[in-house]
């Protein structure tokens, strides 16, 4: 085929490709995103489709296996404290920077959302944005007698010098109750109603970073509205509170395009 003929075919092909394909391709280039899974989950669980979509849009994504990883929403154990577990996010951020990421966004689902807010409260420097997706794990709201008793048992074991002794404690995830292995020190850090894992306290400690809070209208926490934690965070003009038509698990898939669009605007 003659040169001009080949050029004509190429140009015609370009015209036939929807403009949205080019707008989306590489639109998140330069972004590094840490995607944090929920309680008893894994990087291959509900957060993976969103992580894949972010990568397809040009972002570099790391999804670390967190200290609360497990199966079917039940953690294998709690052996690191809440603050020790957050170090995994810091390591992922460092790895993304080594890969050339210039803008860092940390995102998480359920307990992962709790964790990214906690991380931003402690290590805000260099963060471009924070995304809470179907936030969960609310120790100040755990009213079950067995969890209250477990918290007290953990306190007493720590006082007795047994803070690193792996023990059975009570846990809960979206209405399902189960025992979990944990060291008293780690358990208390996650379940103390006035401890380091309380979302509103951590949100209030964040500086003015762009903050996206996404919650499903069928999620248990949605009934508390913006006043639960979002309003406690320092105001930033790019922060947003979004309610989507979803439950606790499918919020990520339902809100996928909204999350990507929000990151594009940072």
pLDDT tens sequence across 176-206: 999 999 999 999 999 999 999 999 999 999 9
Answer yes or no: is pLDDT of 259 > 90: yes
Q: Which residue has the tokens 């006043």?
A: 227
The whole-model pTM stands at 0.90
Average pLDDT over residues 67-81: 97
Share of the chain above pLDDT 90, in %: 89
Nearest to 174 by CA among 212, 135, 140, 226: 135
* Conformation bin of residue 121: beta by default, left when phi > 0, alpha when psi is -120 to 50: alpha
Under CATH, domain 32-138+196-264 is a member of which superfamily? Alpha/Beta hydrolase fold, catalytic domain (3.40.50.1820)
Answer yes or no: is pLDDT of 112 > 50: yes
Q: How confident is the model at residue 16 (pLDDT cuts 50, 70, 90)?
A: very low
pLDDT for the residue numbered 14 = 37
| Residue 190, CA atoms < 13 Å, CB-side half-sphere | 32
pLDDT for the residue numbered 17 = 37
Beta carbons of 215 and 226 less than 8 angstroms apart: no
Average pLDDT over residues 88-116: 98
Query: What six digits make up the tokens of 66?
Result: 């967190």
pLDDT for the residue numbered 5 = 44
pLDDT for the residue numbered 26 = 56
Answer yes or no: is pLDDT of 50 > 90: yes
Average pLDDT over residues 88-114: 98
SS3 48: helix
Average pLDDT over residues 75-88: 98
DSSP structure string for 198-257: -HHHHHHHS-S--EEEEEETTSGGGGG-TTTTGGGSPP-TT-EEEEES--TTTHHHHTHH
Average pLDDT over residues 100-121: 98
The DSSP bridge pattern shows strands 74-75 and 176-182 to be unpaired
Select the more confidently predicted residue: 12 or 263.
263
Q: What is the mean pLDDT of the chain?
A: 91
Beta carbons of 174 and 70 less than 8 angstroms apart: no
Average pLDDT over residues 168-172: 97
Q: How confident is the model at residue 147 (pLDDT cuts 50, 70, 90)?
A: very high
SS3 178: strand
The whole-angstrom separation of Cα 227 and Cα 224 is 7
């Amino acid at each position: 085929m003659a040169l001009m003929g080949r050029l004509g075919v190429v140009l015609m092909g370009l015209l036939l490709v929807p403009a949205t394909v080019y707008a989306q391709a590489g639109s998140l280039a330069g972004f590094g995103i840490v995607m944090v899974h929920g309680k008893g989950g894994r990087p291959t669980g509900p957060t993976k489709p969103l992580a894949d979509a972010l990568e397809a849009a040009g972002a570099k994504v790391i999804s670390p296996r967190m200290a609360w990883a497990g199966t079917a929403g039940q953690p294998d154990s709690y052996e690191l404290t809440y603050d020790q577990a957050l170090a995994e996010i810091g390591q992922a951020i460092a790895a993304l920077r080594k890969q050339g990421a210039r803008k860092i966004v940390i995102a998480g689902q359920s307990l992962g959302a709790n964790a990214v807010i906690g991380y931003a409260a402690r290590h805000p420097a260099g963060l471009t944005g924070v995304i809470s997706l179907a936030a969960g794990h609310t120790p100040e709201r755990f009213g079950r007698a067995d969890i209250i008793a477990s918290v007290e048992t953990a306190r007493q074991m720590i006082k007795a010098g047994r803070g690193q002794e792996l023990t059975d404690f009570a846990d809960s995830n979206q209405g399902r109750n189960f025992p979990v292995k944990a060291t008293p020190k780690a358990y208390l850090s996650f379940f103390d109603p006035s401890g380091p894992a309380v979302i509103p306290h951590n949100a209030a400690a964040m500086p003015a970073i762009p903050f996206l809070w996404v919650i499903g209208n069928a999620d248990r926490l949605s009934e508390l509205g913006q006043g639960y934690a979002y309003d406690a965070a320092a105001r930033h003009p790019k922060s947003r509170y979004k309610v989507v038509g979803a439950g606790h698990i499918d919020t990520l898939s339902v809100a996928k395009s909204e999350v990507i669009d929000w990151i594009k605007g940072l």
